[in-house]
Amino acid sequence: MSNRESRSGGYPDILLGRKSLGRYPVHKLRRVDAITTEVRGEIQRVDQTQNGFELAGAGAYGEKCRTEYERSMTKFPLDYALAEFVGSIFSPYGTGPVAPEKAPLPNDPAILSEHIRSLGYFLGADLVGVCELPQWALYSRDAERDPIVCTHKYAIVLLSEWDYKTTSGSLGDDWISDACSFVAYDRTAHMAVAMAAYIRRLGYKAKANFETGDFNPTFDMPVTPLIVLSGLGELSRAGWALSPFLGGRFKASVVTTDLELRPDRPIDFGLQSFCRVCKRCAEECPSRAISDSDLMVLKNGIMTYEFDVERCTKYRIMNQNGAFCGKCIKVCPWTKPEGPTHDLVRAAIRATPFLNRAWVKFDKWLGYGQQDIRYKWWFDLEEVGGRHRIPKRSPDNDYWKK
Ligand code: SF4
Ligand code: SF4
């Protein structure tokens, strides 16, 4: 054994966190002790039946919205193709029997965390984070109104990005929008199921939480708090967790487990001061669901910007010019891919918060957030009554208000 190996207990650099299979420089992020969202009280568990899509499906947003909800996943053929098989393939394997005997693993949560992180990258994740799983982060009830019970101590969060060029080629709320989500959801479903099955074979409990596309997601929790807690992002003005490397251009799955791990710390890359002045998502949101106010409100124990779930959900479901919507993600200045120029700007934003307004203006001036038609590779098609037609684009898409 070399001197270096003996100093490290004989473990290779990758299990000591000195190397990574991941391609993003997460080691350069500023780690902090507490999340950058201000917590002002007790956070209550939320009921999954009260999320926007569940309410829409139950008719709470009106009969037209309920009817559109039922056809929403099937109206664009690629969306349907990506979403229809995930549930039937993966749902039976989210949980399963645990091996009766524990495998001889290192008795070191830090080493095990790096092992699991590397596994996530090996399976294809773009970013992997680990956090403790507080009970408040779980839904109180699932969509079937059954109480959610999960005593696993840790959550492993797996992010999968979707193609930036495709996002550039879209309007953000046209036909490809939801397919972008589902191509990432499909990948994360596979990663989560494989990771949970592996942990169970090692003799520890584990459950995969992922989106199935058949209105029957397996999530025991909303993912945004866990993305923030595991140091993969900060809470944004738009209400979703924003990654410093991907913006909101990703989807997540979660593996919960009782395998002893070492949690990652939250990050601070300057998003709170950036969101305060940027407001790009609020300006471009077609349903005006995102607040452009400077004031934050206290919502379930945290200080956050107002967000109108009903307006967003109705627009996404009843959008007649596309399938769902991701315009806030498309126009967000952080959505750009890695690359020397963008990485330099990200670093500059972190270092010069007083220039945030100028950065936002510069971003707009360069035309980011506009459609780059050179990358529109898909055909706009709408399935109606089992037949495809080329949809007409209405200049006034306010069907969702009716
Ligand atoms: S998804 Fe679309 S409607 Fe919803 S907040 Fe984002 S931009 Fe607005
Ligand atoms: S568009 Fe601007 S305000 Fe909205 S989430 Fe992104 S950085 Fe924050």
**Ligand 1 mean position to 31 CA, how many Å?**
30
Write out the residue range of the structural domain in which residue 91 sits.
30-369
Answer whether residue 395 is part of any domain.
no
1 has pLDDT over 50 = no
User: Could you tell which of 36, 278, 285, 296 is best to mutate to test the pocket of ligand 2, judged by most ligand atoms within 8 Å of the CB?
Assistant: 278
CA-CA distance, 25 to 258, in Å (whole number)? 28
| Ligand 1 pocket, residue 330 CB under 6 Å | no
| Ligand 1 pocket, residue 290 CB under 6 Å | yes
4 has pLDDT over 80 = no
Q: Which ligand is nearest to the CA of 53?
A: 1
Q: Give the residue from 389, 312, 393, 395 showing the smallest Cα distance to 76.
A: 389
Q: Looking at residues 295-302, what average pLDDT do you find?
A: 97
Q: Which ligand is nearest to the CA of 272?
A: 2
**Ligand 1 mean position to 248 CA, how many Å?**
12
Answer whether residue 10 is part of any domain.
no
**Ligand 2 mean position to 268 CA, how many Å?**
15
Structure tokens at 137: 């982060």
* pLDDT one-digit tens code per residue, 107-127: 999 999 999 999 999 999 999
CA-CA distance, 46 to 304, in Å (whole number)? 16
Atom of ligand 2 nearest to the CA of 247: 6
Q: Give the residue from 269, 395, 285, 290 showing the smallest Cα distance to 343.
A: 269
Which residue bears the tokens 């100028």? 358
Lowest model confidence (mean pLDDT) among 223-237, 336-350, 381-395: 336-350
230 has pLDDT over 80 = yes
94 has pLDDT over 50 = yes
pLDDT at residue number 215: 66
44 against 364, higher pLDDT: 44
**Ligand 2 mean position to 281 CA, how many Å?**
6
2 has pLDDT over 70 = no
pLDDT band at 398 (very low <50, low <70, confident <90, very high): confident
Lowest model confidence (mean pLDDT) among 18-32, 57-71, 180-194, 203-217: 203-217
Residue 128's DSSP bridge partners are 158
Q: Which ligand is nearest to the CA of 235?
A: 2
Q: Looking at residues 212-223, what average pLDDT do you find?
A: 84
Alpha helix stretches (DSSP H) within 62-108: 63-72, 77-83, 86-90
**Ligand 2 mean position to 334 CA, how many Å?**
8
Q: Looking at residues 323-341, what average pLDDT do you find?
A: 92
**Ligand 1 mean position to 10 CA, how many Å?**
50
Q: Which amino acid is at 154?
A: Y
| Ligand 1 pocket, residue 323 CB under 6 Å | no
389 has pLDDT over 50 = yes
The number of domains in the chain is 1
Answer whether residue 146 is part of any domain.
yes
Answer whether residue 13 is part of any domain.
no
Q: Looking at residues 392-400, what average pLDDT do you find?
A: 76
Q: Are 255 and 207 in contact (CB under 8 A)?
A: yes
Answer whether residue 387 is part of any domain.
no
Q: Looking at residues 251-256, what average pLDDT do you find?
A: 98
Atom of ligand 2 nearest to the CA of 280: 1
> Angle 356-365/340-351 helices, nearest 10 degrees?
150
Q: Give the residue from 90, 158, 164 showing the smallest Cα distance to 125.
A: 158
| Ligand 1 pocket, residue 332 CB under 6 Å | no
Q: Which residues line ligand 2 (CB under 6 A)?
A: 236-238, 242, 274-275, 278-281, 331-334
**Ligand 1 mean position to 320 CA, how many Å?**
14
How far is residue 232 from each of residues 25, 110, 156, 387, measured CA to CA in Å?
12, 18, 11, 42
Structure tokens at 24: 């993003």
Q: Which ligand is nearest to the CA of 369?
A: 2
User: Could you tell which of 249, 269, 332, 359 is best to mutate to test the pocket of ligand 2, judged by most ligand atoms within 8 Å of the CB?
Assistant: 332
220 against 360, higher pLDDT: 220
pLDDT at residue number 362: 85
CB burial readout 193-203, b (16+ within 10 A) else e: bbbbbebbebe
At 304 the three-state DSSP class reads strand
Q: Looking at residues 56-72, what average pLDDT do you find?
A: 93
Answer whether residue 127 is part of any domain.
yes
Q: Which ligand is nearest to the CA of 305?
A: 2
Residue nearest to atom 2 of ligand 2 (CA): 278
**Ligand 2 mean position to 361 CA, how many Å?**
13
Q: Which ligand is nearest to the CA of 315?
A: 1
pLDDT band at 7 (very low <50, low <70, confident <90, very high): low
* pLDDT one-digit tens code per residue, 162-213: 999 999 999 999 999 999 999 999 999 999 999 999 999 999 999 999 998 7
**Ligand 2 mean position to 395 CA, how many Å?**
26
Q: What's the chain's average pLDDT?
A: 93
* pLDDT one-digit tens code per residue, 35-47: 999 999 999 999 9
5 has pLDDT over 70 = no
Q: Is residue 208 within a helix (H) or strand (E), and if so which, with residue range? A: strand 206-209
Answer whether residue 261 is part of any domain.
yes
Answer whether residue 18 is part of any domain.
no
